[in-house]
Amino acid sequence: MKRLAALVVLAVAALAVVAVRAGHEFPVYPSYYPHAITLKSLDPEHAADLLRDSKIQAYIGPEPAFGAKPPESLAAVESLGSFVVVHVNGASPLARDPESACAVTGAVIRELASRGDVTVHPYPVTPLHGDYLYYADLADAARERFLGASAAALPARAALKVRAPATLGADLPKSWTAPSSSWDAAIEAVDAQSLVAAAQAPLNGWVGPPWLRTGWFHAALLLENSLDDAAARDRVRTDRARLEKADYGDAVERINLERDLVTSLTAGCRTVVAGYTTKREYVSVEYSAGIENIDYDYVSGLNSPIFLRTVKLKDFPWNGWLTIGVGARPEAAWNPIAGFGDPFGRLLWAAVGDPAFIPAPNDVRWMLNRVSDVKSVVARP
C-alpha cells in the first residue's frame, strides 16, 4: 500500500542536460487533504460496483460482495476487526473450580484454532497493536498455556454446550450447540473499533484520552469487569490509575506497570480473549481515477483522520475530489458534544474537526496534525 515515489527531473536548457540528484523520501506524505470529500451511505453490494468503476475511491464497512476475486484495480487494507472472547459459565458443573474452568476455555480455544477465520491468540494484546513488542513474551506464554503440550493433556470436553454467534458458531462441532438457557461457555465477538470509540472524547480538536490505543487499555476494557477476585480487582484499579495519571518514573517503569496490569487481567480462565479477526476495507488504485499515498489506523482502519490527511487522488498533483462509501447510515447527532459517535459520524468529524493530534499509524502514540514540534535556535552573534 505504501509506495516510495521516485522523482526524476530532466531539464534541458541551452542544449545542456542538468542532472538532479534525489535522496531518500518518506513512504507516505501528510497533508494532501482533498478539498472536497463526499461521504455516501452504501450497502456492500452497491459499493462493489462503484469501486470497480472508480466512482468511489474507498469503502469503509463490511467487505463488499464482489462475487468473485476483486479486480486488480482494487487493493485491500487490513486492520483489527474484533476480539474473540470466551466466557465460562460459573454455574456450569464442568467449571466449578479454576482448573476445570481452564479446561473448558482451553477446549474452546483449541477448537477455534482448527477451523474458521479466527486468528487464535489467547492474549488481549495482538500482533496488530502498536505496543505488542512489550508483551510478546507474555503472549507466547499464554499460547503455550492454552495450546501447548500441557494444555493438550487436559481432559476433553466432548459434552460441552457452547453459545456463539452465527459467524463463529458455524465452525464449532454440532454437538456443542447450546440452548440459550443452559451453556458451559459462550463466545463473543467484540468489535475493536466500537470498543475504542466508546472511550473517545471528540471535543475541541482532541480525540483522546492519550492511552486510547494502547494494549493495556483494550485489555482493561475487555476483561476488568469479569474479574471475580477482589485482590485482583484492586491491583488492576491501582495499576490503571497510576498509568492514567502518569504516576511512574520513566519508560521502563511504565512498561513494567503495563505488563503487570495485563498479567493481572489474564490470570484467570473464566473470561479469556481467545483471538481476533481482521477486517478488509477496499480502495481503488486504478491508474488515473484511483488513490495513492494511503495510510490507516491499526484499530479503526480507514475510518481514521490519518487516512484523510494522507490520501492523494492520482488525477491531481494536490487536493482533488474524494468520494468514500460508508457501510452504515448516519444515526448519531452531528455535533461534537452529543454526537459523532457512530461510524459515519466519526468519519465526518475526522474530515471537518481538524484535531490538533491524530493517531499515528501502526503505533499507540499520537502525531501532530496542524503544527510541527520545532525547537527554536538562538542565532549566533
> How far is Cα 285 from Cα 282, in angstroms, rounded to an integer?
9
The full length of the chain comes to 381
Confidence of residue 20 (pLDDT cuts 50, 70, 90): very low
Q: What is the pLDDT of residues 84-108, one digit of tens each?
A: 999 999 888 888 888 888 989 999 9
The chain-wide mean pLDDT, for the chain, equals 83
| Whole-number pLDDT of residue 6 | 31
Q: Reduce the DSSP state of residue 18 to 3 states and report it.
A: strand
Tell me the mean pLDDT in the region 63-80: 90
- The domain segmentation of the chain, as residue ranges, is 29-73+285-368, 80-277
Q: Return the residue matching grid coordinates 491508474.
A: 287
Dihedral sign computed on CA atoms, order 111, 115, 121, 125:
negative
Question: CATH assignment of 80-277, given 2.40.160, 3.30.70, 3.10.105, 3.40.710?
Answer: 3.10.105
| Joined grid coordinates for residue 184 | 458451559
Q: What is the pLDDT of residues 7-16, one digit of tens each?
A: 222 232 333 3
The pTM score is: 0.83
Confidence of residue 153 (pLDDT cuts 50, 70, 90): low
Parallel, antiparallel or unpaired: strands 74-88 and 271-284: antiparallel
- Of 103, 132, 297, 304, nearest to 219 (Cα)? 132
Tell me which of 1-15, 212-226, 255-269 is least confident.
1-15
Look at phi and psi of residue 138 and say left if phi exceeds 0, alpha if psi is from -120 to 50, else beta: alpha
> How far is Cα 80 from Cα 299, in angstroms, rounded to an integer?
5
Q: Is the peptide bond before 209 cis (omega within 30 degrees of 0)?
A: yes
Collect all residues with Cβ–Cβ distance below 8 Å to 239 and sequence separation of at least 6: 257, 260, 261, 264
Per-residue pLDDT for 194 more than 50? Answer: yes
| Joined grid coordinates for residue 52 | 470497480
Dihedral sign computed on CA atoms, order 233, 242, 359, 139:
negative
Q: What percent of the chain stands above pLDDT 70?
A: 83
CA angle 313, 319, 320 (to 5 degrees): 60
Tell me the mean pLDDT in the region 220-230: 93
